[in-house]
Amino acid sequence: MNTNSVFSAMPIVKISNLDKYFGHLHVLKNISLDVPPRQVVCLIGRSGSGKSTLLRCINFLEEPSQGTIEVDGIRVEGGEKGRHHRQLVHDVRLKTGMVFQEFNLFPHMTVLENVIEGPVIVKGIGRQKAIELAEENLDSVGLLFKKDEYPNRLSGGQKQRVAIARALTMEPRVMLFDEPTSALDPELIGEVLNVMKKVAKAGMTMIVVTHEMGFAREVADRVLVMAEGELVEDANPADLFNSPKDPRTKALIDRYRSGEQA
């Protein structure tokens, strides 16, 4: 059904033998992972398991200690320095969109200015074209009517939806979400998850660090479980939730289940 299956088989994100140390602390242990196009991957695990660090290594917000990150064909060796390395990191960042737990919108810019900032300043596309693109994306997260507001006038859920629009307007090949709903009031989580579902349906490759097991089960194509800096399980959600193999995964899912009932 896919005429260019050779290309679609090529992963968008390819992590090989990644290690990360914080001082003496070995927080990521020899991680390898391929994410093919259009796949939605949820990364779960207890806090301190290294899942956020792994995500942040993909766009080099954390510099890997060693190993290779490849995003859409751009290969970067971890732990290197110098101009060439910085250029590669820059190229990788243009291919990745990131959504943070704390939104991190620019408070001195309006919603629209936030969204066009990257395309205009970094990619250098014309302001007019950037605005068109930005308005399209703001519309799809349902916030076009807020485009002239400043972020402090928005609810947490609205801020996060703007942050998603900001990342999408850079036209990335993969979207990274770092606990996108953890800083939100419970009643605002749904609107953000709905937007994320929409992004997934539109065919975006996504890697999502989350505690939202419901989202993982419903939207993810694949769930990865991390514990103590290692990937301990890699399965489709149905298998993972019904018959977890690793005892740590089982403990995680049991905790979630008991929370669900409570």
Partner 1 sequence: MSFFSKTQNAPKSQAELLYDIQVRKERRFRANVGLSWLILVFILVMAFSGQEVTIGSKTFSGIQIDTEFMRKNLTFIAGGLGETIRISLMSIALAMILALLAALGRLSTVPPIYALSTFYVSLIRGTPLYLQIFFFFLALPQLGIILSGLWAGVLALGLNYGAYMSEIFRAGLSSVGKGQREAAMAIGMTPAQTMRRVILPQALRFAIPPVGNEFIAMTKDSALVSATGFVHELMWRSTKVGRAQFHNLEALIMAAMFYWVMTLLLTYIQSIIETRLARGDR
Binding site for partner 1 (CB under 8 A): 59, 61, 90, 93-94, 96-98, 100, 102, 104-108, 117-118, 121-123, 150-152, 166-167, 170
Indicate the residue among 111 and 235 with the shorter CB distance to partner 1. 111
Smallest CA-to-CA distance from 115 within 72, 166, 67, 57 is with 166
CB of 190 to partner 1, least distance (A): 24
Indicate the residue among 158 and 249 with the shorter CB distance to partner 1. 158
CB of 232 to partner 1, least distance (A): 28
- 87: amino acid identity, one letter: Q
Indicate the residue among 17 and 87 with the shorter CB distance to partner 1. 87
CB of 149 to partner 1, least distance (A): 10
Indicate the residue among 1 and 121 with the shorter CB distance to partner 1. 121
CB half-sphere exposure, 64, CA atoms < 13 A: 27
CB of 90 to partner 1, least distance (A): 6
Asked if 206 and 177 count as a contact pair (C-beta separation under 8 A), the reply is yes
User: How is the beta sheet containing 25-35 ordered, strand by strand?
Assistant: 25-35, 13-22, 66-71, 74-77
Indicate the residue among 120 and 225 with the shorter CB distance to partner 1. 120
C-alpha to C-alpha distance for 145 and 158, rounded to whole angstroms = 11
Indicate the residue among 100 and 215 with the shorter CB distance to partner 1. 100
Smallest CA-to-CA distance from 27 within 68, 64, 61, 69 is with 64
Asked if 210 and 177 count as a contact pair (C-beta separation under 8 A), the reply is yes
CB of 107 to partner 1, least distance (A): 5
CB of 110 to partner 1, least distance (A): 9
Chain-centre distance of CA 135, in angstroms? 22
**Which pair of tokens denotes residue 22?**
């914080």
